[in-house]
């Protein structure tokens, strides 16, 4: 028997059955969980709903035997739940079919009123109550890494954590933190909050006690996480049994602080045992109980909190007749714009129906059959046909097999969270190709040092910030046989062309205090053309160059994009003040395929990726040389509009009309947009370039610019004093040095020397770098501007790093591309991609299939504008011997 607070009296309401069952459905139940797991990169066509546990029977409070059910209309004063189970059912979103599965491993005990959250391709289960009383406080993981062979694991967590409890909440915040709150431990209603960082091992719970005024204790509340990391705790029942109608935001700031904040307004009707899930920035709340054996009224059974506008709304229902959402103890999940509701309790009747509501237009909820033609048409239009899905599944299986054969670790979107007992002897899955936590930082996209927690700060003291250090190993992605996601770590000094040893220059002051950000305005941009750009271009695994070379936007849409971005750049300072953790990108030069590869391998700037907890900094030279400058600059501008506080762009020397008129960008605009529109767009984008910031300082210790300090830059203030908009003609020697100067050929060449790039340009020696760092209280300079063979190169004993992100520059250099990932501990990790082999496509084709033996690339898909690069060859790359030449240096 499961005793789960049973104050709902039977009612004569008949049980609705909306749609016929396909497959092995879970059957009637309540107190279960429904968790959505999307396919690779959020592919909705492969999304699954995982239903676990729940109570499958009712027991009246007047002496009925276990398993018996109260009948509708009975006069029993209350009901109890029985038949707790630990079975697992999976709903295929595309086909609308249920399947019961028996995962391998040791399953959790039967339970209901438990909590669940999705972590990558896993479902985490915690707490609940079953026939033997409260379930243990252990975390159980249902692992779908192999979708055909799911497996249960028990997660080992060190130290104290949330006590055994039921009717609590468990959510994943910012794709990283498991947050458990409230519930009942069998003795009292709880008001605590705990967080577990999935990116740090050994796993440990941390009780959150310093986040401001906490909400009152409650049970049977709901908690749902918005895609940008904001958690909404809503409703519940307090210690006196009163239903609550409040809502609170809970978020973690980038400096490690957690903060509570009351949501605007109050829910139209207080409730508990309800369901809640986010669709975009709208929190959908359905059903619930109000006490005294009653459920919410029909008019308010479904309400929505619009977190963008800070208001509660009651959507209109597209279903005729009875309001199907009047129920409690049901389970809710969302996939894309769709809300799924399964089962629950209505009066004395357990439900076994599946409801689907569409929130595509943001105003109306229309309930329909998930196997209807409308659903199928949506899935086909968004994600291609079933054959394409099978091809992707086959490719993923082949990649996994290749990873095992090569004994290397595959990068996943989320840390393993499989620290299970069978791995303790070192023979588990973590052994092959993995690196010991004490030896090096994880290569995972979400793990330290990218997103490591900062040290605790004692109030009233000066915040501690560590010295900047370059990690002694670089993360390298291998592309043999077109396999993706296979990585290894190499000693920096073992790289073929990066051999200078690092001697960190120790000097710098404490970082300034961190500012708070409003919880209810985070990452919520207005609708605009930038949304379309992101939706169509930010597809690291599936983007493909258009065959006809036409660009997806017209001139007026590009103008709108520029106008919106320019408004943001106007408000920014000339020298940006940014914080760690942050990813730094060097020159891209229109090589959009390389940008997608870097996003694919090391994290994507989206709310489904890592933008909620790590910034992105781009060091200029977005256009010219490559054949996809329009894609590159438009996507970066769109990301800036979408995430203005997290995406940072500074100017390079090719962001100038006199340069990009000669080196490809102007020609690309004319070719792809037409002569008249092309000239207009080229001029408008160059006007925007004049507003770009010119440098950035990270944590008051690292100066980032495009070129260098040249001969005349001695203070950061000289850069900050440049007024924008600014052209190269107006910027004078300071702007010329900033965008055009280079380090000397090696550490032995001191002072200021003439540059082979042309008259009036200079190179600067290691003495200039050390002097500049000392005078400006800096520890390091990071710059771009030069192609280097390993994608990054040290200079001045490690005080300066040159960064270049485009591979095989101009189709001839053969260089690797790199980014630098700076963690909160200010450890800087180089992450590399190598050039693709000849005739290897950057991405799968548009249907998702991989070309086995691709033909010679079509000219339209070629990365290089060969005629431009033949006419004006690039700077020879550093890092390997080369013969002297008369090449033009741009």
pLDDT digits 0-9 by tens, 419-435 = 322 222 233 333 333 33
766 vs 13, more confident: 766
pLDDT tens for residues 138-154? 999 999 988 889 999 99
Nearest to 2 by CA among 82, 105, 62: 82
Over residues 171-198, the mean pLDDT reads 93
662: left (phi over 0), alpha (psi -120 to 50) or beta: alpha
- By DSSP bridging, strand 780-783 and strand 792-795 are unpaired
CA atoms of 661 and 686, how far apart (whole Å): 10
Nearest to 581 by CA among 303, 174, 871, 248: 174
**Residue 842 in this model has a pLDDT that exceeds 50:** no
885 is written with which tokens? 């030449």
pLDDT band at 61 (very low <50, low <70, confident <90, very high): very low
648 is catalytic: no
**Residue 780 CB burial class (10 angstroms; 0-12, 13-18, ≥19):** buried
**Residue 178 in this model has a pLDDT that exceeds 60:** yes
Radius of gyration of the chain (CA): 29
- By DSSP bridging, strand 742-743 and strand 364-367 are unpaired
pLDDT of 862 reads 46
Given a contact cutoff of 8 angstroms between Cβ atoms, the answer to whether 792 and 818 are in contact is: yes
pLDDT tens for residues 643-684? 999 999 999 999 999 999 999 999 999 999 999 999 999 999
Query: Could you give the percent of the chain with pLDDT greater than 90?
Result: 48
Question: Across all residues in the chain, what is the average pLDDT?
Answer: 77
pLDDT of 53 reads 96
pLDDT tens for residues 715-730? 999 999 999 999 988 9
Nearest to 6 by CA among 59, 44, 66: 59
pLDDT of 514 reads 37
pLDDT tens for residues 691-705? 999 999 999 999 999
**Residue 425 CB burial class (10 angstroms; 0-12, 13-18, ≥19):** exposed
pLDDT of 293 reads 82
pLDDT band at 380 (very low <50, low <70, confident <90, very high): low
Percent helix, strand and coil across the chain, each rounded to 5? Answer: 20, 25, 55
H or E element at residue 562: helix 555-571
Given a contact cutoff of 8 angstroms between Cβ atoms, the answer to whether 224 and 231 are in contact is: yes
Over residues 563-568, the mean pLDDT reads 96
16 is written with which tokens? 């609705």
pLDDT of 587 reads 96
pLDDT of 566 reads 97
**Residue 399 in this model has a pLDDT that exceeds 50:** no
Residue with tokens 């915690």: 126
Sequence-distant (≥ 6) Cβ neighbours of residue 531 within 8 angstroms: 525, 638, 642
Given a contact cutoff of 8 angstroms between Cβ atoms, the answer to whether 713 and 671 are in contact is: no
pLDDT band at 292 (very low <50, low <70, confident <90, very high): confident
pLDDT band at 357 (very low <50, low <70, confident <90, very high): confident
**Residue 46 in this model has a pLDDT that exceeds 90:** no
Given a contact cutoff of 8 angstroms between Cβ atoms, the answer to whether 703 and 796 are in contact is: no
Neighbours of 149 (CB within 10 A): 11
pLDDT of 359 reads 77
Distances (CA, A) of 786 to 139, 708, 790, 880: 49, 11, 12, 13
Helices (H), 165-252: none
SS3 state at 625: coil
Residue with tokens 């983007």: 543
pLDDT of 677 reads 94
pLDDT of 518 reads 57
CA atoms of 783 and 795, how far apart (whole Å): 11
Given a contact cutoff of 8 angstroms between Cβ atoms, the answer to whether 301 and 323 are in contact is: yes
824 vs 634, more confident: 634
Domains of the chain, by residue range, sit at: 33-382, 490-513+527-837+855-871
**78-82, 156-160, 372-376, 402-406: which has the minimum mean pLDDT?**
402-406
28 is written with which tokens? 């009637």
CA atoms of 248 and 354, how far apart (whole Å): 29
Nearest to 770 by CA among 796, 741, 794: 796
Nearest to 242 by CA among 287, 272, 285, 274: 272
pLDDT of 872 reads 66
Distances (CA, A) of 462 to 459, 510, 699, 750: 8, 7, 14, 38
Q: Which of 168, 654, 657, 834 is catalytic?
A: 654
- What CATH code would you report for 490-513+527-837+855-871? 3.60.21.10
User: Do the two domains 33-382 and 490-513+527-837+855-871 of this chain adopt the same fold?
Assistant: no
Query: Could you give the percent of the chain with pLDDT greater than 70?
Result: 71
CA atoms of 869 and 806, how far apart (whole Å): 15
pLDDT tens for residues 87-126? 999 998 878 889 999 999 999 999 999 999 998 889 999 9
Strand order in the sheet with 364-367: 316-317, 364-367, 349-358, 338-346, 331-335
230 is written with which tokens? 């904001």
Over residues 161-184, the mean pLDDT reads 93
CA atoms of 482 and 179, how far apart (whole Å): 38
CA atoms of 265 and 273, how far apart (whole Å): 21
**Residue 881 in this model has a pLDDT that exceeds 60:** no
CA atoms of 198 and 252, how far apart (whole Å): 14
pLDDT of 212 reads 84
885: left (phi over 0), alpha (psi -120 to 50) or beta: beta
pLDDT of 377 reads 56
**Residue 504 in this model has a pLDDT that exceeds 50:** no
833 vs 472, more confident: 833
Given a contact cutoff of 8 angstroms between Cβ atoms, the answer to whether 301 and 286 are in contact is: yes
Is the peptide bond preceding residue 581 cis, with omega within 30 degrees of 0?
yes
pLDDT tens for residues 770-788? 999 999 999 999 999 999 9
Which H, E and C letters describe 268-301, residue by residue?
Answer: CCCEECCEEEEECCEEEEECCEEECCEECCHHHC
- Tell how far CA 727 is from the center of its chain: 36
Over residues 307-328, the mean pLDDT reads 68
424 vs 207, more confident: 207
CA atoms of 584 and 589, how far apart (whole Å): 15
Question: Max CA-CA distance within the chain?
Answer: 97
CA atoms of 717 and 729, how far apart (whole Å): 20
CA atoms of 341 and 287, how far apart (whole Å): 10
Nearest to 880 by CA among 491, 601, 405, 497: 497
379 is written with which tokens? 């899935």
796 vs 363, more confident: 796
Q: Does domain 33-382 have CATH number 2.120.10.80?
A: yes
pLDDT tens for residues 452-482? 222 333 334 444 567 888 887 888 875 543 3
CA atoms of 56 and 69, how far apart (whole Å): 10
432 is written with which tokens? 């092959």
- By DSSP bridging, strand 742-743 and strand 762-764 are parallel
Distances (CA, A) of 555 to 274, 521, 678, 877: 48, 31, 8, 36
pLDDT of 573 reads 97
Range ranked top by mean pLDDT from 312-326, 377-391, 392-406: 312-326
CA atoms of 152 and 643, how far apart (whole Å): 37
pLDDT of 886 reads 32
Is the peptide bond preceding residue 725 cis, with omega within 30 degrees of 0?
yes
DSSP for 323-370 reads: -TT--BS-EEEEETTEEEEEEEEETTEEEEEEEEEE-TTSSEEEE--T
DSSP for 303-323 reads: EEEETTTTEEE-PEE-S-SS-
**Residue 503 CB burial class (10 angstroms; 0-12, 13-18, ≥19):** exposed
């Amino acid at each position: 028997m499961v005793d789960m607070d049973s104050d709902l009296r039977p009612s004569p309401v008949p049980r609705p059955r909306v749609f016929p069952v396909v497959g092995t459905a879970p059957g009637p139940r309540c107190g279960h969980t429904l968790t959505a797991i999307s396919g690779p990169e959020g592919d909705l066509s492969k999304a699954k709903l995982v239903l676990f546990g729940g109570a499958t029977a009712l027991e009246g409070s007047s002496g009925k035997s276990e398993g018996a059910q109260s009948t509708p209309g009975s006069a029993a004063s209350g009901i109890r739940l029985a038949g707790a189970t630990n079975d697992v059912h999976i709903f295929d979103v595309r086909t609308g079919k249920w399947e019961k599965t028996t995962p391998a491993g040791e399953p959790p005990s039967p339970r209901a009123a438990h909590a669940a959250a999705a972590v990558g391709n896993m479902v985490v289960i915690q707490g609940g109550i079953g026939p033997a009383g409260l379930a243990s406080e252990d975390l159980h993981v249902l692992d779908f890494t192999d979708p055909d062979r799911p497996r249960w694991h028990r997660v080992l967590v060190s130290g104290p954590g949330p006590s055994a409890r039921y009717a609590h909440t468990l959510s994943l915040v910012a794709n990283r933190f498991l947050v458990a709150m409230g519930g009942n431990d069998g003795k009292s209603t709880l008001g605590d909050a705990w967080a577990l960082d999935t990116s740090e091992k050994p796993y440990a719970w941390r009780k959150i006690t310093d986040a401001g005024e906490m909400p009152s204790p409650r049970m049977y509340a709901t908690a749902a996480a918005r895609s940008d990391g904001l958690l909404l705790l809503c409703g519940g029942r307090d210690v006196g049994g009163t239903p609550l109608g409040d809502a609170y935001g809970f978020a973690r700031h980038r400096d490690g602080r957690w903060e509570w904040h009351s949501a605007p307004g109050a829910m139209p009707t207080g409730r508990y045992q309800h369901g809640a899930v986010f669709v975009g920035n709208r929190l959908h709340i359905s059903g619930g109980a109000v006490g005294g054996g009653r459920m919410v009224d029909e008019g308010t059974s479904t309400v929505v909190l619009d977190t963008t506008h800070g208001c509660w709304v009651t959507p209109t229902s597209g279903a005729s007749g009875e309001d199907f959402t009047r129920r409690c103890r049901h389970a809710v999940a969302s996939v894309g714009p769709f809300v799924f509701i399964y089962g629950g309790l209505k009066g004395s009747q357990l439900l076994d129906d599946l409801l689907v509501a569409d929130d595509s237009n943001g105003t109306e909820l229309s309930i329909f059959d998930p196997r209807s033609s409308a659903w199928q048409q949506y899935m086909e239009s968004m994600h291609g046909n079933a054959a394409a899905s099978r091809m992707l599944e086959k490719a993923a299986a082949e990649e996994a097999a290749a990873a095992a054969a090569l004994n290397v670790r595959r990068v996943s979107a989320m840390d393993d969270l499989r620290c299970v007992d069978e791995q303790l002897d070192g023979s588990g899955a973590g052994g092959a190709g993995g690196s010991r936590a004490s030896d090096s930082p994880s290569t995972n996209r979400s793990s330290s040092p990218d997103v490591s927690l900062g040290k605790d700060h004692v109030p009233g003291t000066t915040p501690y910030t560590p010295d900047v250090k370059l990690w002694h190993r670089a993360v390298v992605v291998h592309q043999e046989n077109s396999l993706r996601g296979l990585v290894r770590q190499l000693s920096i000094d073992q790289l073929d062309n990066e051999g200078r040893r690092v001697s960190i220059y120790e000097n710098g002051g404490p970082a300034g205090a961190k500012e708070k950000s409003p919880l209810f305005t985070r990452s919520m941009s207005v609708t605009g053309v930038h949304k379309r750009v992101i939706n169509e271009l930010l597809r690291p695994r599936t983007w493909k160059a258009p065959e006809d070379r036409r660009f997806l936007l017209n001139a007026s849409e590009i103008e709108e994009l520029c106008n919106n971005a320019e408004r943001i750049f106007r408000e920014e300072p000339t020298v940006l003040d940014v914080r760690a953790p942050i990813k730094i990108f060097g020159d891209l030069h229109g090589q959009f395929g390389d940008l997608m590869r870097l996003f694919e391998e090391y994290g994507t700037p989206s709310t489904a990726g890592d933008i909620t907890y790590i910034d992105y900094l781009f060091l200029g030279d977005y256009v010219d040389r490559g054949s996809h400058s329009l894609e590159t600059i438009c996507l970066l501008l769109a990301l800036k509009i979408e995430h203005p506080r997290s995406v940072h762009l500074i100017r390079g020397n090719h962001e100038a009309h006199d340069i990009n008129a000669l080196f490809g960008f102007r020609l690309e605009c004319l070719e792809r947009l037409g002569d008249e529109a092309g000239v207009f767009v080229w001029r408008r984008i160059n006007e925007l370039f004049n507003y770009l910031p010119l440098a950035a300082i990270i944590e008051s210790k690292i100066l980032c610019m495009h070129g260098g300090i040249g001969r005349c830059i001695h203070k950061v203030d000289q850069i900050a004093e440049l007024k924008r908009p600014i052209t190269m003609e107006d910027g004078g020697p300071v702007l010329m040095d900033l965008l055009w100067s280079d380090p000397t050929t090696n550490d032995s060449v001191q002072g200021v020397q003439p540059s082979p790039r042309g008259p009036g340009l200079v190179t600067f020696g290691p003495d200039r770098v050390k002097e500049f760092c000392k005078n400006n209280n800096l520890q390091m300079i990071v710059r771009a501007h030069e192609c280097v063979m390993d994608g990054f190169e040290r200079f001045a004993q490690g005080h300066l790093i040159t960064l270049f992100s485009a591979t095989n520059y101009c189709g001839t250099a053969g260089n690797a591309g790199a980014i630098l990932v700076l963690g909160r501990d200010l450890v800087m990790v180089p992450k590399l991609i190598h050039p693709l082999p000849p005739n290897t496509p950057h991405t799968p084709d548009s249907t998702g299939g991989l070309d086995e033996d691709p033909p010679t690339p079509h000219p339209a898909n070629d990365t290089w504008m060969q005629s431009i690069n033949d006419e004006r060859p690039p700077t020879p790359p550093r890092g390997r011997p080369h013969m002297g030449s008369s090449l033009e240096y741009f």
